[in-house]
Structure 1
Amino acid sequence: VNVFLKMTACIKRPWLIDSRVCPLEKALPAADGYSFPSGHTAGAMSCWGAAAYWWWNNKIVRYTMITFVLLVAFSRNYVGVHTPQDVIVSMLIGICLMFGIDRLLKWIDAKDGRDLIFYSVLLVMTALLCIYLHLKCCMQLETYDSLKDLVNPLEMKHGVYGKIGFLLGIFTGWLLEKRFVKFEITKGINTKKIISLLSGIIVLYILMMVLNKVFILFMAKHIAAAIIAFLTAFYITFLYPCLLKILKN
Structure 2
Amino acid sequence: MDISYLLWLQDIRKRLHPAWELGFNAVSDWSLSVYAVLLIPCLLYWCLDKRKGQLVIFSYVGARFINAVLKLSVCCYRPWIRDSRVIPSPRALGGAGGYSFPSGHASSGVGLFASAGWTLRQSCAGLLSTVLWAFTILVLFSRNFLGVHTPQDVVVGTGVGVLAIYLSGRFLARMEDGGSSDALVLLAAAAVTALTLLYFVAKPYPTDYVDGQLLVDPAAMQLSSLKQVGELAGLIAGWFIERRWVRFSTACTAAEKLLRFVLCAPGLLWAERIAPRLIRSVLGARGSVITSRFVFVFYIVCIAPCICRLLHGIFARFQPRRG
Please say if 1:97 is aligned against 2:183: no
Q: Which amino acid aligns with 2:201?
A: H
Could you tell me which of 182, 185, 190 is aligned with 1:115? 182
Distance 1:163 1:186 in 2: 31
What is the RMSD computed on CA atoms of the aligned residues? 2.2
**CA positional deviation for 1:92:** 1.3
SS across alignment from 2:269: helix
Partner of 2:249: 184
- Identity, % of aligned pairs? 30
The within-5 A match list for 1:98-247 is: 98-111=165-178, 114-136=181-203, 139-140=204-205, 143=207, 145=209, 147-185=212-250, 193=257, 196-197=260-261, 199-247=263-311
- Structure index of larger Rg: 2
Q: Would the aligned equivalents of 1:144 and 1:152 in 2 still touch at CA under 8 Å?
A: no
Q: Would the aligned equivalents of 1:24 and 1:79 in 2 still touch at CA under 8 Å?
A: yes
Q: Which string of whole-angstrom CA distances, capped at 9 and with x for unpartnered residues, describes residues 140-165 of structure 1?
A: 38x46584333211211211222111
Gaps of 5+ in 2: 1-65, 314-323
Q: Which amino acid aligns with 1:215?
A: I
Count of aligned pairs between the two proteins: 245
The higher relative CO (CA closer than 8 Å, separation ≥ 6) is in 2
TM-score normalised by length of structure 2 = 0.70
Q: Would the aligned equivalents of 2:231 and 2:296 in 1 still touch at CA under 8 Å?
A: yes
Partner of 2:22: none
Q: Which string of whole-angstrom CA distances, capped at 9 and with x for unpartnered residues, describes residues 154-182 of structure 1?
A: 21121122211111001100111111111
Could you tell me which of 93, 103, 126 is aligned with 1:28? 93
**Residues 7-16 or 203-212, more deviating:** 203-212
Gaps of 5+ in 1: none
Could you tell me which of 123, 138, 153 is aligned with 1:86? 153
Distance 1:172 1:25 in 2: 39
Q: Which amino acid aligns with 1:104?
A: F
Partner of 2:102: 37
Distance 1:153 1:53 in 2: 36
Q: Which string of whole-angstrom CA distances, capped at 9 and with x for unpartnered residues, describes residues 85-139 of structure 1?
A: 1111111111111011111111122127522222211111211111111112xx3
Distance 2:166 2:288 in 1: 32
Structure 1 residues 60 and 221: CA distance shift in structure 2, 3 A:
same
